[in-house]
A and B are shown apart, each in its own frame.
Chain A
Amino acid sequence: MRKIIHVDLDTCMGCHTCELECATAHSKSKDLLTAIQENPLPQHRIRVESVKGINILWQCRHCEDAPCETICPTNAIGRANPESPVVVDDNKCLSCKMCIQVGCPFGVLKEDNADGVVTKCDFCIENLEEGAEPACASGCPTKALKLVSLDELPEDKQEEVGKEIPTVVYKKVSLP
């Protein structure tokens, strides 16, 4: 079943909770109060920024023909099957940073502050396998971010999936 993270920009109040949830989910302890004392600090892979008065949620789009995947010399970036999220294999990454500096048109990749490898949204792949929502969606207080399957969307939105449209950010992924 194909699922996406549906983002409703009108509902987002710019509280940055998704950033905190994301960083916590990718910390060693998985607990907010312990995570803030970790060294190095866990990093968030989603960002909220106010541009022209709108709170924009910015994260990896898991592009179908991902430029980061193309540019990676060791195939450290890629997906397990055509419908799974684009993830980084830390063991294969050489930290040549070509994906950060040239690869991603959206500028969402960054260097891991722990070991220099590249880090990005992994769609909380472990949560997905257990059937749970990604941390950013499950933690959103106003439910601006939601993990929905394609047929849950209204029909007019369904048609827009895959197209560049302004009201939602789509990420496609299939669940086991």
Chain B
Amino acid sequence: MKVIIDGKDVELQEQKTILKVAEEIGIEIPTLCHHDGLSSYGSCRLCIVEITNNGNTEIDTACTRSVEDGMEIKTATERLTEERKLIAELLLAQAPESEKLKASLSKLGVQESRFEAREDSDCIVCGRCVRACKEEVGAGAITFVGRGYKTKVDTPFSINSDVCIGCTACAEVCPTGAITVEDEEAMRYIRYFNTELELAECAECGKYINPKRMIEKLKKEDFAYYPEENFELCEACRRNKEMNKFADKFLEAK
């Protein structure tokens, strides 16, 4: 398979998305909803590229479109720059207060939006959190709710989720910082999803560690072979335990 990206000839053996190929040859395409650890989704539209194949030119998202033989791809034409700026402004209108989003959009030169701001939250409905929760963590606690411009991410019926394991991956992958997690005493609050979880205590030092539900899930599933007592310990106590074991063995051998 042969393609041309920004004038560079690229030869490929296997199917890949345009975004992946561009990244490999050092061409940067702006993205927001894309994450290497998640499936491609194509909701933010920032990664649009111009594709010419068989004499037709079209615009498509680089993260979802696979390369085809004979494609000529341009990633930074004047038309694309203009389109991306418009898309960026539309995204920013959904989260006008988000510093994290502004920082990501600064490369495109967009810091304010002409459009009416949406006030209720900083969510741009990119679906990163939904994909992380469902596909990777396997909890499926959150999903898209509503239609059209009213679409948002929430738990079913917007009530305290009973399947969320409180791993906080949703908050970490969020490109706007709309989701926040607060740990207070023995509880973890993910207020954006009206969700609260009980935290387990470290058996040694009493520090609050993981949500009980996360531990239960891991104990049951793919991590069943792991020593039972390690689930009950915080990271520092696990380390101390192993270090002491190590020191004892060393002294014994002397």
Contact = CB atoms under 8 A, between A and B. Distances in A.
Interface of A: 9, 49, 51-52, 54, 56, 58, 67, 70-71, 73-76, 89, 91-98, 100-102, 104-110, 116, 164-167
B229 to A, nearest CB: 10
B81 interface: no
A74 B168 contact: no
Task: Choose among B136, B246, B249 the residue with the greatest number of A CB atoms under 10 Å from its CB.
Answer: B246
B209 to A, nearest CB: 6
29 contacts: A9-B250, A56-B246, A70-B222, A73-B136, A73-B138, A74-B36, A75-B37, A89-B37, A91-B36, A91-B37, A92-B36, A93-B37, A94-B137, A94-B173, A95-B173, A96-B168, A96-B172, A100-B235, A101-B214, A102-B218, A102-B230, A104-B235, A106-B238, A107-B235, A107-B237, A107-B242, A108-B239, A165-B253, A167-B253
B226 A96 contact: no
A93 B137 CA distance: 12
Task: Choose among B172, B222, B231, B234 the residue with the greatest number of A CB atoms under 10 Å from its CB.
Answer: B172
B251 A54 contact: yes
Tell me whether chain A's interface is mostly helix, strand or loop, or mixed: loop
A90 to B, nearest CB: 9
Contacts of A76: 37
A95 B128 CA distance: 13
B25 interface: no
B253 A166 contact: yes
